[in-house]
Amino acid sequence: MENLLANSSEPRTQPVALHGAVLRLTDIEKVYQTKTIETVALNRVNLTINRGEFVSIMGPSGCGKSTLLSLMGLLDEPTSGVIEVDGRAVTSFSDRELAGLRNLKIGFVFQSYHLINDLSVVDNVEVPLLYRPGMGSKERRKRAVDALDKVGLSARTGHFPSQLSGGQRQRVAIARALAGGPEIILADEPTGNLDSVMGEEIMGLLLDLNRQEGVTVVMVTHDEHQALKTERVIRFFDGSQVG
Amino acid sequence: MLLSYLKIAWKVLMRRKFFTFINLFGVSFTLMILLVVMAMFDQLTGNHAPEKRNDRMLFISRITEKMRGEDGWMMNPVSSYFTDTYVRPMHTPALVGLTSIVSNATAFTSNKLLPLDVRYTDGNFWQIMEFDFRSGRGLTGAEVKQAAPVCVLNEATALTYFGTTTDVVGREIEIDLKRYRVAGVVANVAAAHLFSYADVWLPCTLSKDYGGAGRLEGSFIPILLAPSAGQVQAVRDEYQQVMARVPISDPKHITNLYSNADPIMASISRELMPMKHGLDGDGLAQFYLICTALALLFMLLPALNLVNLNVTRILERSAEIGVRKAFGATGTHLVSQFLVENVVLAVVGGLLGLGLAAGALALVNESHVLAYANFALSGSVFGWALVLALAFGLMSGVYPAWKMSRLNPVAALRGSGEQK
Ligand SMILES: Nc1ncnc2c1ncn2[C@@H]1O[C@H](COP(=O)(O)OP(=O)(O)O)[C@@H](O)[C@H]1O
Ligand SMILES: [Mg+2]
């Protein structure tokens, strides 16, 4: 298995261009209704993510970036508007169908890693595969180890999250997002909890995954420097797209 | 899938030792108590020596006479005359045996007084019951008929009196200044065997209460053996017809006679249930209902405690739930995972409870609180333990698991327990 971290400084081969929209959001609105106030988190958002792209999303805190990502990840439903995955609108999908889609197509990376502390590194990476119908434990283990290999952590399979540094935890989280072979990785401030050196490392890893494996990546970031490395930057302000 | 759930369950439980310990303690302690009660119950009612055919045996433990006027009742065991006149001629039983209630007697060894529990029996008693003979045999019909001075001893009595349990058969023992030849020695019978337990068994014809022509009350309990378990009801029914024909000897004072041939459980429930002296039925169904309700109630408290612990645990683990949902877990997956975790915990708790119960019963057996107690965990009690443990696991797991599966993944990931 090639180690993506190790050759991240080598000249990059361009990925095979696979065109077409992976995700399309049309007229998306998300309103949070609480007892006292109504928050419009997203206001008439129209957005297309193409296959193989690396898109970064920027904007001040509270402008709706996380909300956008959770809608893209089918974790929540928009108040109005249509989300299409691979050209199919998911509006009428049942919870079970949505879970299936998430499992097959989407990998999440969170700012605070969200590893399961009770499980070892490799068991954490196996989580998406657990919900793959008909996959045996050997196959799961093999894929998890492969994914850990890609993030350079195959020597830490038996460790527990508490025994790892922040950067290592985020690499485990990326391996977990990768393990199921998703089409798209949604990363919400993946370097937000890391120092700049570790942040660079994680950014490099995501870039390599995008370029070498052709995985589509949508990343929320506050770091202009990181955003400039991606193909497209989408800026948000107060629930609306501004650029 | 189940295997991986089991694996995860095990890992989680091993990682959360404190939670696991608290949980296990609650489950195993409760189950221990239930199992001890059940083992005692099983000893009382199961097919164990000497009542190996308990499922076919019926006992006429008393006759009730309703007195004229105010609410007076007389309850007594029946006489041998009643047995010979009304019970033995019955058609449906395969055998009718007779035992007295237990009375006290004394034997003297060379240096001390030996208090004994004595039971007077007929020959059929020894065919209906299946004692564990260490040597010799039971009393025969001929011996009983001749009122022969023979006896059967339990091992403990043989050992105390003769200093040995071998070569005792044929020797003589003096009880209440009368001499009896030992016909057989049987394994000790626990006092829980209400209708067979004794230290010494003698021919019923030697009892001072034997006979009593014309009298219905005495000190005897007829035991009826139905040809098969299926025939038990037929025997009960025939006995009711017999009772209807029994004349009231003293109509001036007595208005009604009641008596029942009951299987062991019914005879116990008739005693225990406040059923108007057992005349409204044997109260068995109500008795079982109450027992079940008590057991459930008893399990409810620890179960609620577990529900509470589990709900707290879920909120602690809401991020995990969010992650699992984000990566494709359905509600069903999560409910199954959580239930398996809980059931594994409960089953481990059940096994511990079984161990504790075995220890507790050993203590009871050792302590000699009950004569010759030999409570043991039978296969059926073991089975019940597992059933109870599973019930526990489900009772305390279903609600939290359902609640968990309803968590909104976005909220769960943010760490709040907001519902969908
Ligand atoms: N569950 C919620 N209930 C109510 N308001 C919410 C909820 N989630 C987010 N919001 C509000 O929606 C807006 C957008 O939030 P978010 O998407 O988290 O922003 P960002 O990730 O850009 O910081 C904020 O004003 C936030 O307070
Ligand atoms: Mg955010």
Residue in A closest to B420 by C-alpha:
A76
Cβ-defined contact of A137 to B328 (cutoff 8 Å)? no
Burial zone of B65 (CB within 10 Å; 0-12 exposed, 13-18 middle, 19+ buried) = buried
Domain that holds residue B194: 57-262
**What's the confidence (pLDDT) of residue A13?**
41
Cβ-defined contact of A127 to B16 (cutoff 8 Å)? no
- Overall number of domains in chain B: 2
**What's the confidence (pLDDT) of residue A47?**
95
Cβ-defined contact of B12 to A118 (cutoff 8 Å)? yes
Residue A91: CB within 6 Å of ligand 1? no
Tokens 């083992």 correspond to: B39
Is residue B79 in some structural domain?
yes
User: Does one domain contain both B138 and B159?
Assistant: yes
Residue A34: CB within 6 Å of ligand 1? yes
Residue in A closest to B323 by C-alpha:
A114
Q: How far is A11 from chain B (nearest CA, A)?
A: 33
Counting atoms of ligand 1 from 1, which one is nearest the CA of A68? 17
Is residue B273 in some structural domain?
no
Q: How far is A1 from chain B (nearest CA, A)?
A: 24
Ligand lying closest to the C-alpha of residue A236: 1
Residue in A closest to B418 by C-alpha:
A34
* Cα B222-B223-B224 angle, rounded to 5 deg: 115
**What does the alpha-carbon distance between residue B287 and residue B59 come to, in Å, rounded to a whole number?**
18
**What's the confidence (pLDDT) of residue B276?**
55
Instruction: Tell how far the Cα of A66 is from the centroid of ligand 2, in angstroms.
Output: 4
User: Does one domain contain both B41 and B87?
Assistant: no
**What's the confidence (pLDDT) of residue A129?**
95
User: Does one domain contain both B42 and B67?
Assistant: no
User: Does one domain contain both B9 and B80?
Assistant: no
Residue in B closest to A182 by C-alpha:
B327
Q: How far is A154 from chain B (nearest CA, A)?
A: 21
Is residue B279 in some structural domain?
no
* Residue A12, pLDDT above cutoff 50: no
**What does the alpha-carbon distance between residue B60 and residue B58 come to, in Å, rounded to a whole number?**
7
Is residue B352 in some structural domain?
yes
Cβ-defined contact of A116 to B323 (cutoff 8 Å)? yes
Instruction: Tell how far the Cα of A230 is from the centroid of ligand 2, in angstroms.
Output: 19
pLDDT tens-digit readout, B351-385: 888 888 889 888 888 877 777 777 877 777 778 77
Average model confidence (pLDDT) across chain A: 90
Amino acid at A38: E
Q: Which pLDDT band, with edges at 50, 70 and 90, does A14 fall under?
A: very low
* Residue A163, pLDDT above cutoff 80: yes
Rounded mean pLDDT for each run of 10 residues along chain B, 420 residues in total: 76 76 79 84 78 91 84 87 95 96 90 92 96 94 96 94 90 93 94 91 95 88 96 94 89 87 87 62 82 83 78 79 94 88 83 87 80 77 80 80 85 61
Boundary residue ending a domain (B246, B262, B278):
B262
Instruction: Tell how far the Cα of A40 is from the centroid of ligand 1, in angstroms.
Output: 9
Probe ligand 1: pick from A33, A63, A67, A110, max atoms within 8 Å of CB? A67
Q: How far is B342 from chain A (nearest CA, A)?
A: 16
- The DSSP 8-state label assigned to residue B100 in this structure reads E
| CB hemisphere CA count around A50 (13 angstroms) | 7
Probe ligand 1: pick from A31, A32, A189, max atoms within 8 Å of CB? A32
**What's the confidence (pLDDT) of residue B417?**
41
User: Does one domain contain both B61 and B42?
Assistant: no
Which among B4, B327, B408 has CB closest to A103? B327
Ligand lying closest to the C-alpha of residue A237: 1
- The DSSP 8-state label assigned to residue A189 in this structure reads S
User: Does one domain contain both B245 and B349?
Assistant: no
- Token output for B163: 């200093």
**What's the confidence (pLDDT) of residue A17?**
41
ipTM: 0.90
Ligand lying closest to the C-alpha of residue A72: 1
**What's the confidence (pLDDT) of residue B279?**
60
Peptide bond into B302 cis (omega under 30): no
User: Does one domain contain both B103 and B142?
Assistant: yes
Mutation target to probe the B interface, by most B beta carbons within 10 A, among A34, A117, A138, A143 is: A117
The b-or-e profile of A108-143 (16+ CB within 10 A means b, else e) is bbbbbbbbbebbbbbbbbbbbbbbbeebeeeebbeb
Is residue B281 in some structural domain?
no
Mutation target to probe the A interface, by most A beta carbons within 10 A, among B317, B323, B327 is: B327
Is residue B108 in some structural domain?
yes
Q: Which domains are assigned to chain A?
A: 4-241 (3.40.50.300)
User: Does one domain contain both B151 and B171?
Assistant: yes
Q: How far is B332 from chain A (nearest CA, A)?
A: 9
Cβ-defined contact of B325 to A75 (cutoff 8 Å)? yes
Average pLDDT over residues A134-158: 93
User: Does one domain contain both B239 and B202?
Assistant: yes
* Residue A84, pLDDT above cutoff 80: yes
Work out how many CB contacts closer than 8 A connect A with B.
75
- With beta carbons under 8 A apart, name residues in chain A contacting B410: 70, 75-76
The sign of the torsion formed by the CA atoms of B377, B383, B386, B390 equals negative
Rg (CA), chain A: 18
Angle between helices A95-105 and B318-326 (to 10 degrees): 80
Is residue B196 in some structural domain?
yes
Average pLDDT over residues A195-201: 92
Residue A33: CB within 6 Å of ligand 1? no
Residue A105: CB within 6 Å of ligand 1? no
- Confidence (pTM): 0.69
Instruction: Tell how far the Cα of A39 is from the centroid of ligand 2, in angstroms.
Output: 15
Of A223, A165, A174, A232, which Cα lies nearest the Cα of A202? A174
User: Does one domain contain both B71 and B216?
Assistant: yes
User: Does one domain contain both B35 and B126?
Assistant: no
Residue A39: CB within 6 Å of ligand 1? yes
Q: Cβ(B4)–Cβ(B344) under 8 Å?
A: no
User: Does one domain contain both B138 and B253?
Assistant: yes
Is residue B383 in some structural domain?
yes
